[in-house]
């Protein structure tokens, strides 16, 4: 395979004037445009720094990403107008020196959250003219040094505020922006940050119809939108909250460590209290309910009188009935008590004491047998 690579040797003026450094920088450019490649070539000079693979059939599949990791000296990568449909996690993970990534005019519709992991030095990201409908702002978190973000010509209608505090230029025109209240945070961010919105006059609303052709940076919102969506966090406020959050976390972690050895005793004490309360409640319940059950069982503890017991009881009853006449000096209160005692027992003809718990049918059968 014939490669088209140009090696350029630079001695920057600053290095020529400096006594501390006399080293040179080598820039290796490789141009493979319009080669009809379906895969990234694996035999490119490993020292390549600028690689242009535009106007091919590359899809950036797993094989491509593995080959791409071997060109770890890359500073610029161009994949314009290929067949890329998806950006996978860690697809550029080993390209820590990459500063420019251009993937415009593809068919990208899915970008996984970790797609840009490892691109700590990336300054320009071009995703223009793809088929992106929605973007998770978290995908930009690894891009700490990003200066330019190009999202022109996609299908994005809503875009949450990205945490890109060093961003200087953003390109958003050519998208069907829905200028409802949900876009207020983006407008506040564009007006309060240092970022420049390129082609502001043509970055306009598509919905609703009443706001059509308004710039997304100047579209008027009513007071209700401002109450629903507070302004975004700026860099200074973010750093302030970050320091507070870190100190709070460290303090909580220290308190957790200090109190860890007390947890066992606390749990044991709590279990003891719960068990004590349950046992006390159970004893109180038993103390209240047991006399009722005892009386209920005791009421059934009656038995038939024997014949000699019945006769003795009748004799005693006769003697008691004649006692008022034998003691004329007894007062009326004693007479009343005796009367109540006499009528508290009812003697039936069969010599049994009447008990409401005795079955009457059973009693008649016994009378017939006797």
Which pLDDT value is given to residue 175? 96
Which pLDDT value is given to residue 2? 47
285: left (phi over 0), alpha (psi -120 to 50) or beta: alpha
Across the chain, what does the average pLDDT equal?
75
- Reply yes or no on whether the pLDDT at 19 is more than 50: no
Q: How confident is the model at residue 257 (pLDDT cuts 50, 70, 90)?
A: low
- Reply yes or no on whether the pLDDT at 104 is more than 70: yes
The string of pLDDT tens digits covering residues 133-175 is: 999 888 999 999 999 999 999 999 998 887 776 899 999 999 9
Residue 233: CB atoms within 10 Å: 17
The residue count for the chain: 370
Stated as kind and residue range, the H or E segment containing 101 is strand 100-102
Residue 195: CB atoms within 10 Å: 20
Q: How confident is the model at residue 115 (pLDDT cuts 50, 70, 90)?
A: very high
Q: What average pLDDT does the segment 230-258 reach?
A: 48
More confident residue, 332 or 283: 283
- Reply yes or no on whether the pLDDT at 324 is more than 50: no
Of the listed ranges 92-96, 113-117, 154-158, 358-362, the least confidently predicted one is: 358-362
More confident residue, 21 or 203: 203
Which pLDDT value is given to residue 299? 59
Q: What percent of the chain stands above pLDDT 90?
A: 43
How do the residues of the chain divide into helix, strand and coil, expressed in percent and rounded to 5? 40, 15, 50
Which pLDDT value is given to residue 146? 94
Q: What average pLDDT does the segment 228-232 reach?
A: 50
Q: How confident is the model at residue 95 (pLDDT cuts 50, 70, 90)?
A: very high
- Distance between CA atoms of 211 and 180, rounded to whole angstroms? 9
- Reply yes or no on whether the pLDDT at 121 is more than 50: yes
Which pLDDT value is given to residue 359? 56
Which pLDDT value is given to residue 365? 59
Which pLDDT value is given to residue 119? 95
More confident residue, 253 or 69: 69
The string of pLDDT tens digits covering residues 36-53 is: 999 999 999 999 999 999
- Alpha-helical (H) ranges within the chain are 13-17, 62-68, 184-192, 223-228, 235-259, 263-298, 307-326, 332-343, 360-369
Which pLDDT value is given to residue 215? 94
- Reply yes or no on whether the pLDDT at 56 is more than 70: yes
């Amino acid at each position: 395979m014939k490669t088209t690579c140009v090696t350029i040797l630079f001695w920057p003026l600053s290095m020529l004037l400096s006594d501390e450094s006399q080293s040179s920088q080598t820039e290796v450019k490789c141009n493979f445009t319009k080669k009809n490649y379906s895969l990234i070539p694996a035999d490119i000079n490993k020292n390549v720094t600028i690689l242009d693979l535009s106007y091919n059939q590359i899809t950036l599949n797993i094989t491509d990403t593995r080959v791409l990791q071997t060109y770890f000296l890359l500073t610029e990568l161009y994949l314009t107008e290929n067949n890329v449909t998806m950006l996978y996690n860690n697809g550029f993970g080993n390209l820590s020196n990459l500063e420019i990534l251009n993937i415009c005019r593809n068919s990208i519709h899915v970008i996984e959250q970790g797609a840009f992991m490892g691109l700590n030095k990336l300054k320009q990201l071009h995703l223009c003219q793809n088929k992106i409908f929605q973007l998770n702002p978290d995908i930009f978190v690894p891009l700490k040094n990003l200066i330019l973000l190009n999202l022109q010509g996609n299908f994005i209608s809503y875009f949450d505020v990205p945490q890109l505090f060093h961003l200087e230029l953003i390109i958003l025109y050519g998208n069907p922006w829905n200028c409802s209240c949900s876009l207020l945070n983006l407008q506040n961010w564009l007006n309060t940050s240092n970022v420049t919105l390129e082609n502001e006059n043509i970055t306009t609303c598509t919905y609703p119809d009443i706001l059509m052709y308004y710039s997304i940076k100047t579209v008027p919102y009513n007071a209700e939108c401002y109450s629903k969506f507070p302004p975004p966090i700026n860099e200074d406020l973010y750093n302030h909250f970050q320091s507070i959050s870190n100190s709070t976390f460290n303090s909580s972690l220290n308190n957790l460590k200090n109190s860890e050895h007390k947890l066992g005793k606390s749990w044991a004490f709590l279990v003891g209290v719960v068990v004590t309360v349950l046992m006390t409640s159970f004893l109180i319940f038993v103390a209240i309910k047991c006399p009722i059950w005892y009386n209920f069982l005791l009421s059934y503890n009656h038995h038939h009188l024997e014949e000699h017991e019945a006769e003795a009881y009748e004799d005693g009853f006769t003697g008691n009935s004649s006692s008022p006449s034998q003691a004329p000096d007894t007062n009326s209160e004693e007479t009343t008590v005796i009367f109540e005692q006499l009528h508290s027992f009812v003697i039936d003809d069969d010599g049994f004491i009447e008990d409401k718990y005795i079955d009457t049918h059973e009693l008649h059968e016994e009378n017939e047998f006797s």
